[in-house]
C-alpha cells in the first residue's frame, strides 16, 4: 500500500527543503515526506523504530543511500539526540515528526493494528518491544483497562468495555483483533448506539498508544530537538491526537528558544481529506529556533 504523505505541501513550505539543507525525518515510515525532501535536493536522516520501514526505505532509495543523500537509522526518536550525533546530523535545518502509524503498518494484518482485519493482538511498532496489546488486554485489571480507554481513547464507554473484556477473557484469552473488536462492538450494540467510525476505533488507538509509549517518547524527544536545530532551523510536527497536539503546543509555548510560526495548527483542506481520509484529524505545528 502506498502511504500518502499528510500535509506535504504545508510541510515543504515551512521546511523549504533544497540543496545544501539538512533535514531529519524522525518518523520516516514509507518515505512520503523523505522522498519529497530528497527530490528537492536536501540531505536527509530518516529515522523509524520499525525495522520493516527501514528495510523498505533501503530497497526503495538505495541509490540515495549510496551517495549519502539519505542516511537511515532504525531507532526510537526518544533518542533523537544520540541518533543524530552518531549519524553526523548534529546541526540541522529542519526536523519533521509525522506521528502515529503508517498505512503499511495498518494494512499488514499480522501487525495487529487493524480492527478491520483478523490478526494477532500485537500493535508493536518495534517487534523488539516486550509488551504487546495481548498482554494488556489479557492481564491488566478492569480499572487499568478503563483508565487506558478513557485517557488515551477518550472512549465514553470505557467502563463497560473494560468490564466486557474482563468477562470475555475468563472464557478464553482474547488473542485476535477480531475478537477484541467484536467485544467492543457488542458493548455499543447493547447501548443501541450507532457511530460513523467503527466502535473499536478509540479503544484500539488507546491500546496502541500504551503499547508503544507514544506520548512518553514524544515528551522525551522534543527538548532534544533544540540542541540539534541550527539557529533559524525549523521543527514541524504533525499530530493526530489531541493529547499529542496539547503536548506540542505546551512545549512550543514554554521553550524560550522557539518562535512559534503557526499561531493555530495548520489542518488539511477538504480536497486533501477527500483524497486521503487518514489526514482528517492531522494538525501541523511549526516553530523556529531563534
Contacts with ligand SAM by CB under 6 A lie at: 3, 5, 27, 29-33, 47-50, 53, 76-78, 98, 100-102, 125, 217
When the beta carbons of 76 and 132 are compared against ligand SAM, the nearer one is 76
- Residue 169 C-beta: closest distance to ligand SAM, Å: 28
- Residue 23 C-beta: closest distance to ligand SAM, Å: 12
When the beta carbons of 150 and 276 are compared against ligand SAM, the nearer one is 276
CA distance 260 to 289: 9
Sorted by sequence, the CB contacts under 8 Å of residue 267 that are 6+ apart come out as: 282, 283, 284
Backbone angles phi, psi at 25, to 5 degrees: -100, 105
- Residue 112 C-beta: closest distance to ligand SAM, Å: 14
Strand partners, 266: 284
- Residue 3 C-beta: closest distance to ligand SAM, Å: 4
106-137 burial code (b ≥16 CB/10 A, e <16): bebbebbbbbebebebbbbbeeeeeebbbebb
When the beta carbons of 31 and 153 are compared against ligand SAM, the nearer one is 31
The residue whose Cβ lies closest to ligand SAM is: 32
When the beta carbons of 50 and 93 are compared against ligand SAM, the nearer one is 50
When the beta carbons of 3 and 285 are compared against ligand SAM, the nearer one is 3
When the beta carbons of 97 and 146 are compared against ligand SAM, the nearer one is 97
When the beta carbons of 103 and 151 are compared against ligand SAM, the nearer one is 103
- Residue 179 C-beta: closest distance to ligand SAM, Å: 25
Radius of gyration of the chain measured on its C-alpha atoms: 20
- Residue 78 C-beta: closest distance to ligand SAM, Å: 6
- Residue 225 C-beta: closest distance to ligand SAM, Å: 13
- Residue 236 contacts residue 14 (beta carbons within 8 Å): yes
Amino acid at each position: 500500500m502506498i502511504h500518502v504523505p499528510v500535509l506535504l505541501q504545508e510541510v515543504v513550505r515551512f521546511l523549504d527543503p533544497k540543496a545544501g539543507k539538512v533535514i531529519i525525518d524522525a518518523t520516516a515510515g514509507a518515505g512520503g515526506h523523505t522522498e519529497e525532501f530528497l527530490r528537492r535536493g536536501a540531505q536527509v536522516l530518516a529515522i523509524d523504530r520499525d525495522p520493516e520501514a527501514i528495510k523498505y526505505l533501503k530497497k526503495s532509495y538505495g541509490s540515495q543511500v549510496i551517495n549519502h543523500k539519505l542516511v537511515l537509522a532504525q531507532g526510537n526518536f526518544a533518542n533523537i539526540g544520540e541518533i543524530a550525533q552518531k549519524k553526523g546530523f548534529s546541526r540541522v535545518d529542519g526536523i519533521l515528526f509525522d506521528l502515529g502509524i503508517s498505512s503499511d503498518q495498518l494494512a499488514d494484518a499480522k501487525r495487529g493494528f487493524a480492527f478491520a482485519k483478523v490478526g494477532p493482538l500485537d500493535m508493536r511498532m518495534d517487534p523488539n518491544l516486550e509488551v504487546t496489546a495481548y498482554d494488556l488486554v489479557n492481564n491488566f485489571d478492569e480499572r487499568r483497562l478503563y483508565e487506558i480507554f478513557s485517557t488515551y481513547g477518550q472512549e465514553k464507554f470505557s467502563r463497560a468495555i473494560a468490564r466486557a473484556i474482563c468477562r470475555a477473557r475468563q472464557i478464553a484469552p482474547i488473542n485476535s483483533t477480531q475478537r477484541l473488536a467484536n467485544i467492543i462492538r457488542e458493548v455499543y450494540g447493547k447501548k443501541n448506539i450507532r457511530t460513523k467510525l467503527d466502535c473499536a476505533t478509540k479503544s484500539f488507538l488507546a491500546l496502541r498508544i500504551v503499547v508503544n509509549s507514544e506520548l512518553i517518547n514524544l515528551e522525551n524527544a522534543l527538548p532534544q530537538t533544540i540542541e540539534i536545530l541550527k539557529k533559524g532551523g525549523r521543527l514541524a510536527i504533525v499530530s493526530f491526537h489531541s493529547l499529542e497536539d496539547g503536548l506540542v503546543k505546551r512545549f512550543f509555548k514554554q521553550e524560550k528558544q522557539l518562535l512559534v510560526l503557526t499561531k493555530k495548527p495548520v489542518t488539511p483542506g477538504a480536497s486533501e481529506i477527500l483524497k486521503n481520509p487518514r489526514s482528517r484529524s492531522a494538525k501541523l505545528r511549526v516553530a523556529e529556533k531563534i
